[in-house]
Amino acid sequence: MTRKYNISYLLTLLALWCVMPMSAQVTAVATLDSTQIQIGRQVALTLSVTTPCGSKVEMPVFDDREQVTPGVEVVGTATEDSVKEGDDIRHNIKYVLTSFDEGKYEIPSMTMLVNGKEYKTKSIPLVVNTVDVDTAHIEKFFPAKDVQDMPHDRNWLLIIALSIVVLLLAALTYYSYRKTKENKPLRLIKKRTRRLTPHEKAMEGISLLSTDKSIEQKEYFSRLTEILRVYLEERFGIKAMEMTSGEILSQLILKTGMDGSMELQSLFSTADMVKFAKYQTGDDTEQSLLSTVVQFVEKTKQTQPQPATMAEPEPLEPTQKRNIGWMVVCGLSLIAAIALLVYVVILIID
């Protein structure tokens, strides 16, 4: 009986010996990096628990501005990590605490769960000191100063250089403006003018022809028939410049139905003989045929005036082209001078 009792006792001791090391492997610790702080300063609270590998650990959780004890609050979670130590693991979490009231506080015991079992840390004292104020020498304290203007180091070399450039551009602007004024005959704007009618063109050509006393007879009849052909083409749409005399007369009768073929036939026949057969006519014949053309034009002229059109500008002369160049230089230099002047003023004001 005694022997059986001893065996049972030994087995109980062995079981306790096996269980005790397992329980001793879990340790919970809370530490502060300083036990004294000034009011408003911060201090780190580190919670550590060492457990066997694979253990389930639950650490205390605090929100920002939550008080761990009245007067001491959490302002943030700094770090959370795990460190392997042999067969165990140490779990760490660090909270940042602060206090705005002077006094002595006690950080209470923290509870940690390891595999559902609670492990508590020891409480820690914390002293919050106020700032010493020398009330005996109040003259050392000054009110808050007004907003001060910071000295600004201006780049005066850059400002002077840009000012010189502005002056040069202003001089170039004035010089180019004077050059444009020297070349006054500049006509780039189209004028609205009335286009001459076929009748007016023909009468103008006839007037010039009749006043030209130095012209030879052959050229006289060539110009007279050309005036008539151009008139027929513009007035009736007959391609008279490309037709023979007979074709012109046939087309004229076909388009207008008017009978003026005998007078015009006499003109074309006389003109052909003068140009190709060296036929000579008298002054009376020239005036008679000229009158025939004038009467035909007056008889067939349009009564409705031509609409106004834009006259083409005359080709620019070399002086006018140079004038345009100076105008461009004047405009560009003026714009550049104004832009740089504004920039210099901004640099000085800032």
- Other C-beta atoms closer than 10 Å to the C-beta of 226 total 15
Classified as helix, coil or strand, 210 is helix
Q: Of 24-33, 180-189, 246-255, where does mean pLDDT reach its minimum?
A: 180-189
Spatial distance between the Cα atoms of 109 and 112, rounded to a whole number of angstroms:
10
Query: In sequence order, what are the beta bridge partners of 42?
Result: 98
Spatial distance between the Cα atoms of 248 and 290, rounded to a whole number of angstroms:
18
Kindly tell me if the per-residue pLDDT of 100 is higher than 70: yes
Predicted local distance difference test score (pLDDT) of residue 126? 92
Spatial distance between the Cα atoms of 251 and 239, rounded to a whole number of angstroms:
9
More confident residue, 236 or 75: 75
Half-sphere exposure of 301 (CA within 13 A, CB side): 18
127 phi and psi angles, rounded to 5 deg? -110, 125
Q: Enumerate the H helices of the chain as residue ranges.
A: 2-24, 156-182, 198-211, 217-236, 245-256, 261-276, 283-300, 318-349
Predicted local distance difference test score (pLDDT) of residue 106? 92
39 contacts: CB under 8 Å, gap ≥ 6? 99, 100, 101, 102, 128, 129, 130, 131
CA 158 to chain centre: 27
Classified as helix, coil or strand, 102 is coil
Average pLDDT, stretch 27-55? Answer: 89
| Spatial strand order in the sheet of 72-85 | 27-32, 42-52, 88-98, 72-85, 67-69
Predicted local distance difference test score (pLDDT) of residue 18? 47
Average pLDDT, stretch 249-274? Answer: 72
Predicted local distance difference test score (pLDDT) of residue 98? 92
Classified as helix, coil or strand, 297 is helix
Predicted local distance difference test score (pLDDT) of residue 276? 75
CA 126 to chain centre: 62
Classified as helix, coil or strand, 83 is strand
Q: Give 138's DSSP letter.
A: G
Spatial distance between the Cα atoms of 25 and 52, rounded to a whole number of angstroms:
7
- Other C-beta atoms closer than 10 Å to the C-beta of 231 total 24
Predicted local distance difference test score (pLDDT) of residue 150? 62
Predicted local distance difference test score (pLDDT) of residue 78? 64
pLDDT band per the 50, 70, 90 thresholds, residue 321 = low
pLDDT band per the 50, 70, 90 thresholds, residue 108 = very high
Kindly tell me if the per-residue pLDDT of 43 is higher than 60: yes
Mean confidence (pLDDT) of the chain: 77
Percent of the chain with pLDDT over 90: 7
Question: What is the tens place of the pLDDT at every residue in 212-244?
Answer: 877 888 888 788 888 888 888 888 788 878 888
Average pLDDT, stretch 129-136? Answer: 74
Predicted local distance difference test score (pLDDT) of residue 20? 46
Predicted local distance difference test score (pLDDT) of residue 22? 45
Kindly tell me if the per-residue pLDDT of 127 is higher than 90: yes
Average pLDDT, stretch 311-329? Answer: 59
Spatial distance between the Cα atoms of 342 and 175, rounded to a whole number of angstroms:
22
Predicted local distance difference test score (pLDDT) of residue 261? 59
Q: Of 24-38, 226-240, 274-288, where does mean pLDDT reach its minimum?
A: 274-288
